Chain A
Amino acid sequence: MMVLVYTFVILFAFACIFPFLYVISYSVMPYSEYLENPVKMIPSKLDFGAYKEILKFPLLYSGYRNTLFITIVGTLLNLTLLIISAYPLSKADLKGRKIILWMILFTMLFSGGMIPRYYLVRELGLINSLGSLILPGAISAYNLILMKNFVGNIPDSLEEAALIDGANELQILWRIIVPLSKAAIASFAIMCAVNHWNSFFDAVIFLTQRDQWPLMLVLREMVFEGGAGAIQNVVAEEDMAQTFTIQMAMIVVIIVPIICVYPFLQKYFVTGLTIGGVKE
């Protein structure tokens, strides 16, 4: 019985990691070798030709710049708003809090949909600006409720002591609440940053100029619209070789930052999802 459990778990774990290992290996493998035996994982010699090719690609640089900007500025904005909104909402005696909470919860149940949202962003003049990828999602209702519950669990006695010492709420937030919520804030930071790094649907809708594209749109064009080697179905076998290896290299370049920070972030995953519980 336990043998079955172990086999299944190990197989699933292998399935999760193998495609990425293969992508890395294919990206440095000569295409002829791949054709000979595609299952082979260790290339006989390293071929960095594909990487040299993509480094010549100007969209890679603008893509990296845009994605970094969205990720850094977006995450900072997410966290700032999350903290300053969660703190007052955690105050049970604050008048008007209930109404605001209901207002927030209702948006988790019902939304205007894609088109009214698009029209609003358009009317705000945010089309073709990176702000369109940052502002419409500045606060996540779900994260806010989690953070509110977390802050609410911090003992009142600490705040009261500071209040008696004459500190105002801004000072309390900065000196007591933020230091005590470090773990929660860190896990929200990861989630927000990864989201900004990976998401692309908003960019598809809101950005039409290629120099504003984040990395994901650059990759999308390379893979799905054949940007790297015209239309894949009609090019000759050798060109296709190039395309395949280049796509693999591009994927590596995009996921490397995530893979690099990933092991260090793991301890924050669980705090992020389980703090405060889902219920109010």
Chain B
Amino acid sequence: MRTKSTIKAGKMNGAKTTNLTALQYFNKKKYLYLMLLPCVIYFILFHYVPMYGIVMAFKDFDFGKGIWNSPWIGLENFRYMFSLPDFYSVLKNSLTLSLLRLLFGFPMPLLLALMINEIRMVKFKKTVQTIIYLPHFISWVVIGGILVNFLSPTWGVVNKILGSFGVEPIFFMAEEKYFKWMVVLSSIWKEAGWGTILYLAALTAINPELYEAARIDGANRFQQLYRITLPCIVPTIVTLFILRTGTIMSNGSEQILVLQNSQNLSVSEVFETYTYRVGIIGGRYSFATTVGLFTSVIGTVLIVCTNRISKMMGENGLW
């Protein structure tokens, strides 16, 4: 369609042939290519040049020599990483937190969206939506600040309430068994409401005639939910799930960095904060790059695999 119309337009401009040489083609589209130039430069500079920087993982990087002139050391960094007890504790923390988040955090927006979808009072529904989207727009520093203050064992409101029931102050942010739940709950609290948007959009796209027909056939609310609503939003669930699996190794640097303190370090140190501490604070670039590469590769492999599995099961994939 488009090709034809451009050719037509070209003819009107007086061009005699439709077989343009590369230069002529480029000249004709020069504005479009010009517009694309910043974009191409941006992606090469800020995404592909750092990918070249990954070779640091295979070198003994020395600041004075730069990446190119630093000596190759092969897989030495990886051997070192896998021999380090710290690495396994970071791996365990990262996986624990992100799997808990997946297990409890992933179904939550779906559940909320299904519930909101059942609400018939339009005004009430709109108000609820406005309120539950709010935490998404607030920075982790602010939320961390609220959490630390409200949960403080000395002056926090939560411990004061518990104290009035005779409960000893609980160090929510320091004790291992509480800390991971604080991370999971606060991330659910922040993002579950916002996560309903895509589901709600998919839910409103369902043809109402399906429900009508089901009602005539005598289907009750649960049967409608099970036979119509869920099958209709499976593609949305699958898409979001595939995207989610790519982030199994990551926990979001901002949240953890804010909630981390010297007392909970043994459970709160995850890959992002570890890379930051070792690489940027400690200056061990090569080793930190190795750790980063390890997590990116696993993330990529996971997302490619789930995408393939999803396609094999007859669902649509991301690509």
Q: How far is the CA of A47 from the CA of B285 in the complex (A)?
A: 50
B204, chain A: closest CB distance, angstroms: 10
Per the 8 Å Cβ criterion, residues 302-319 of B in contact with A are: 303-304, 316, 318-319
Instruction: Decide: A12 and B292 in contact? CB cutoff 8 A.
Output: no
Counting contact residues on chain B (CB < 8 A from A), the size range is 35 or more
A132 to B49, CA, bound (A): 16
Q: What is the predominant secondary structure among interface residues of chain B facing chain A?
A: helix
Known: A88-B32, A112-B47, A120-B46. A38 touches B157 (CB 8 A): yes
Specify which chain A residues have a CB less than 8 angstroms from the CB of B48 in the assembled complex. 103, 107
Contact with B along A238-280 (1 / 0, CB 8 A): 0010001001101100110011001100100110011000111
Q: Are B32 and A223 in contact (CB under 8 A)?
A: no
Which residue of chain A has its CB nearest to the CB of B127? Answer: A13
Q: With contacts A12-B193, A103-B43, A223-B148 known, is A87 near B141, CB below 8 A?
A: no
**B285 adjacent to A273 (CB under 8 Å):** no
Residue A84 is within 8 A (CB to CB) of chain B in the complex: yes
Q: Is the CB of B300 within 8 A of A9?
A: no
A278-B193 Cα distance, complex, nearest whole Å: 19
Are B149 and A223 in touch, CB under 8 angstroms? yes
Contacts of A146 in B (CB 8 A): none
- Whether B178 sits at the interface, judged by CB under 8 Å, is no
Contact (Cβ within 8 A) A136 B56:
no
Q: In the complex, which of the residues B127, B201, B253 contacts A274, with contact meaning CB atoms closer than 8 Å?
A: B201
A169 to B253, CA, bound (A): 41
CA A209 to CA B31, docked complex, whole Å: 41
Q: Is B54 a contact partner of A9 (Cβ separation < 8 A)?
A: no
The complex places the Cα of A141 from the Cα of B48 at a distance, in Å, of 13
CB <8 Å contact, A116 and B53: yes
A39 touching B36, Cβ below 8 Å = no
Are A5 and B118 also in contact (CB < 8 A) when A38-B160, A273-B197, A273-B201 are?
Answer: yes
Residues of B within 8 A of A42 (CB): none
A residues 124-165 in Cβ contact with B at 8 Å: 135-136, 138-139, 141, 144, 156, 160, 163-164
Q: Does A230 count as interface, using CB distance less than 8 angstroms?
A: no
A64 CB within 8 Å of chain B:
no
Q: How far is the CB of A161 from chain B (nearest CB, A)?
A: 10
Contacts of B50 in A (CB 8 A): 111-113, 116-117, 119-120
A45-76 vs B, Cβ < 8 Å mask (1 yes, 0 no): 00000000000000000000000000000000
Contact of B254 among A16, A105, A116, A201 (CB under 8 A): A201
Residues on the A chain within 8 Å of B280, using CB: 114-115, 118, 205
Task: Take A112-B54, A223-B149, A244-B155 as given contacts and tell me if A279 and B46 are in contact as well, using a CB distance cutoff of 8 Å.
Answer: no
A19: Cβ under 8 A from any B Cβ: yes
In the assembled complex, the Cα of A217 lies from the Cα of B140 at a distance in Å of: 11
* Pair B137/A262 contact, Cβ less than 8 Å: yes
| B131-160 contact mask (Cβ, 8 Å, vs A): 1 or 0 | 111110111111011101110001101001
Contact between A224 and B198, CB atoms less than 8 A apart: no
Tell whether A39 pairs with B157 under 8 Å between CB atoms, given A12-B112, A89-B36, A110-B296. yes
**Which residues of chain A are near B29, meaning CB under 8 Å?**
94-95, 169
Q: Does A175 interact with chain B (Cβ within 8 Å)?
A: no
Interface contact A6-B189, CB-CB below 8 Å: no
Within 8 A of A (CB), among B146-191: 146, 148-150, 154-155, 157, 160-161, 189
Does B98 interact with chain A (Cβ within 8 Å)? Answer: no
Task: Tell whether, in the assembled complex, residue A113 and residue B36 are in contact, meaning their CB atoms are under 8 Å apart.
Answer: no
- Is B27 an interface residue when CB atoms closer than 8 A count as contact? no
Asked if B2 lies at the interface with its beta carbon under 8 angstroms from chain A, I say yes
Output the nearest chain A residue to B2 by Cβ-Cβ distance.
A93
Check A251 against B142 for contact (C-beta < 8 Å): yes
A197 within 8 A of B: yes
Alpha-carbon separation in the docked complex, A28 to B134 (Å): 22
A13 B131 Cβ-Cβ under 8 A = yes
The answer to whether A119 and B53 touch across the interface, beta carbons within 8 angstroms, is: yes
Q: Which of B112, B140, B193, B289 contacts A113 (CB 8 A)?
A: B289
Q: Which of B36, B154, B261 has the most CB of A within 10 A?
A: B36
A111→B46 contact, CB < 8 A: no
Asked if A23 CB lies within 8 Å of chain B CBs, one says yes
Interface residues of B (CB under 8 A from A): 1-3, 5-6, 9, 12, 25, 29, 31-33, 35-36, 38-40, 42-43, 45-54, 56, 67, 112, 115-116, 118-119, 127-135, 137-142, 144-146, 148-150, 154-155, 157, 160-161, 189, 192-193, 197-198, 201, 221, 239, 246, 253-254, 257-258, 261, 272, 275-276, 279-280, 285, 288-289, 292-293, 295-297, 299-300, 303-304, 316, 318-319
Q: For the complex of A and B, list the 6 residue pairs with the smallest distance between their C-beta atoms, beginning with the closest.
A: A116-B53, A113-B292, A112-B50, A198-B139, A85-B39, A116-B50
Q: Please, could you name 27 A-B residue pairs with CB atoms under 8 Å apart, sorted by A?
A: A1-B221, A9-B112, A9-B115, A12-B132, A19-B146, A22-B157, A81-B42, A84-B39, A85-B39, A91-B32, A103-B40, A107-B47, A110-B297, A112-B53, A113-B296, A116-B51, A117-B53, A139-B39, A198-B138, A199-B139, A204-B276, A216-B139, A219-B142, A224-B261, A251-B142, A262-B134, A270-B201
4 new A-B contacts at CB < 8 Å, known A17-B131, A160-B9, A200-B140: A13-B132, A198-B137, A205-B276, A244-B149
